[in-house]
A and B are shown apart, each in its own frame.
Chain A
Amino acid sequence: MKPYMMSLTEASNAIITGEFTPKELAESLLGRINETEPLIHAWVTINQEALEEAAKATETKPRGKLHGIPIGVKDIYYTAGMRTTMGSSIYRDFTPDYDADMVKQIKKQGAIVLGKTETTEFALHDPAPTRNPWNTNHTPGGSSSGSAAAVATGMCPTAFGSQTGGSVIRPASYCGIIGVKPTYDLLSRGGVYPLSWSLDHIGYMTRTVEDAHHMLCALTDTDKEWKKRETPPKIGVLRGYFKENAEPEVWEGYEEAITRLWGEGADMIDAPQQSSFKHVPDVHRVIMAVETAAAHEDNFRKRKPEYGEYIQGYISSGLLIPATVYLRAQRQRSKIIQDMIDLIKGYDCIVCPSSVDTAPEGLEWTGSPAFNAPWSLTGLPSITVPMGLASNKLPLGLQLIGTPYNEWNLLQVAGWCEEKLGFDTKPRDPYEPEA
């Protein structure tokens, strides 16, 4: 198998056993980028020193859980000496002089920053040029567009994203890979350009759940061996709001997945939504609009014309929201959080579809975050696992949600579902979408 085809865990083991070197892995990934990037447009910047750094890693003893692993980093994470554009013309020539905390962390674990991946403007709405490897006429989702497409294509085994509404889970789902959004504040946001402080989450994508476990170990300095879960889980099944808003094909795929998991022995129980759930979209909108406006206020007053049209309107309307309404939204959020935690406590996790639809056609719109925003608002950990293909041959995702700081258990359940659903996450060849 070519090194770029390998999962993170496989590549890491291959480096440790000497099957190939970090330099050979980096060469393979850069070769893959050369082949597929002209079609996918996942990268803003490729680290010109990646190969040199990989050669250095080849000469040194393994010094961390990510030794010699090249990783993609969303272009809102500060990278010392490497351009960081935030997807905005305002920052097109900005080069930070320090690394974001998570970039420091992966370097400490021996990883190599392969480059910076495309993002929508300031991780909000105005789209990146990235295309979906399953069908290049479709969006890969956003805002972590480049990270999702790069991992799905085999340009890197894992990549960082960030999520304020649905920017990790949705693109991962649209691209048929694993996406992880841990509990709010589990992973430091230091050095990541803010969109909405109390909603922003660090997240990442991989092609297997075992890789997601490996990555979380590396990011949290945890030694925890990956063990497959043998016991079928007890899962709360969300319908209600999700059924009302899902496209029919998504709902059909979801019900099929539920039936399949039930057939494999999982206890699949209807989980009733509390009445506070219906306020999620409004509460999320108010908080995000105010915090985005506040984060951008200084820049916006000086450089408004350089902002894209959508974000201009978003910031402008956010500046008009009364402070008392913002606080009312934050109070309602407290209630929603508690209701959700109470709901999940009876299960190993709850589930819902990862997105309203499959990846929309065209690049103008990266899709709706409606099924992800509840978990960004509540800060609860969520993971997407591919659950099949729709009739348009685009992936569908199953979203699993757990209680705070219960990522390890959630990963185990996700691994169990991954195995039973049996979706093939090998790198996509965008030149042969039917393959």
Chain B
Amino acid sequence: MTDLKEYIAEMYNAAESLWGKEDAEKMMQHIEATASAVYRVGQLEIDTAIEPATRLRHREKP
């Protein structure tokens, strides 16, 4: 991934191509917040042994 500023710009461009300039501008606050979270999560280093919590581990009752 590029740096955060570039990533926000990339997400903005994707939004603009999908929904147009006006809508993309209106949702700029969401784009910034979401792109920032996505960028930081993308940077996390995680052991490959850790599986996604698509089913929460404690879902199986003891």
A residues in contact (CB < 8 Å) with B: 183-185, 198, 279, 281-283, 285-286, 289, 309, 312-314, 316-322, 325, 327-335, 337-338, 341, 379, 404-405
Contacts and interface: CB of A to CB of B under 8 A. Distances in A.
20 contacts: A184-B58, A279-B40, A282-B37, A285-B34, A286-B34, A286-B37, A286-B38, A312-B23, A313-B27, A313-B29, A313-B30, A316-B19, A316-B27, A316-B30, A317-B15, A321-B34, A328-B42, A328-B44, A330-B52, A404-B62
Contact of A334 (B30, B35, B40, B57): B57
A215 to B, nearest CB: 20
Contacts of B53: 198, 330-331, 333-334, 337
A332 B40 CA distance: 12
B56 A184 contact: yes
Best-surrounded residue of A309, A316, A327 (most CB of chain B within 10 A): A316
Contacts of B14: 320
A317 B11 contact: yes
B34 A327 contact: no
A327 B33 CA distance: 19
Nearest to A312: B27
Nearest to B40: A282
Contacts of B34: 285-286, 289, 317-318, 320-321
A283 B38 CA distance: 8
- Bin the interface of chain B by size: 20 to 34
Chain B facing A: main interface SS: helix
Contacts of A331: 46, 50-53
**Candidate in B14, B35, B36, B53 with the most chain A CB atoms within 10 angstroms:** B53
A317 B44 CA distance: 21
A328 B46 contact: yes
A185 B41 contact: no
Contacts of A312: 23, 26-27
A321 B51 CA distance: 19
Contacts of A317: 11, 15, 27, 30-31, 33-35
Nearest to B23: A316
B2 to A, nearest CB: 13
B59 A314 contact: no
Nearest to B35: A317
A316 B29 CA distance: 12
Contact of A320 (B11, B54, B56, B58): B11
Nearest to A183: B58
B31 A279 contact: no
B15 A327 contact: no
Contacts of B19: 316
Contact of A316 (B15, B58, B61, B62): B15
A321 B36 CA distance: 11
